[in-house]
Amino acid sequence: MPTIKVTDATTEPITLDEAKAHLREEQDETHNDLLITSLITVARQAAEDRLQRTLIDTTWLRTMDAFPRCGGHIELIKPPVLSVLWVKYLAPDGTFTTLDPAACELDPTAEPGLLMPAYGTGWPATRQRPGAVQVQYKAGYGATAEAVPKPIVQWIKLALTDLYENRGRSAERPALPQEFADGLLDTYKIWSV
């Protein structure tokens, strides 16, 4: 039951100017702009991996072999889930069908997000095979950097500094005390059982 990223964030939690100010780089110096821009993305992705959540609006695709039995829910990982874009399934006759949006309900406050059949109904019958059920959804705190919680943004800045100042393999003694930096993310992390 894999979940894959369909589209990545189109913006980052910090701008190039904010990153350069944090790194104490001159704003009019541009020779490191590409490097800094790429490191911002790396730091955001590292935060997302550690947290098991999405920071800026991203589209995900969850595939399954069949709907859950007895009207069970579908877990949508990498919260917070903003919306379900569509649900498609392989009907018993072999045709891919788009589920009527009114036939399911999203609990976006659950982490991971939960998609359930509408009250009093069940999931439709499917032909069981890999990828028979597909759910495309959007997750993230929002479309803008301002939506991302400030402790996460601060962690990204600290990680960016470490990446920028230690461009080789990770230092034996990172410039950033790991317990402090990683502690900034603890409140937002999806903890596995």
In the chain, the domains with their CATH numbers are: 3-55+144-188 (1.10.3230.30), 66-139 (no CATH)
Is the pLDDT at 148 greater than 80, yes or no? yes
Burial 160-185 (b: 16+ CB within 10 A, else e): bbbbbeeeeeeeeeeebeeeebeebb
Average pLDDT of the residues of the chain: 89
**Looking at residue 169, what is its pLDDT?**
53
Spatial distance between the Cα atoms of 162 and 69, rounded to a whole number of angstroms = 47
Question: Is pLDDT of 193 > 50?
Answer: no
pTM: 0.83
Instruction: Please identify which residue in the block is written with the tokens 């702009």.
Output: 33
Residue 63 pLDDT greater than 70, yes or no: yes
Q: 70 pLDDT exceeds 90? A: no
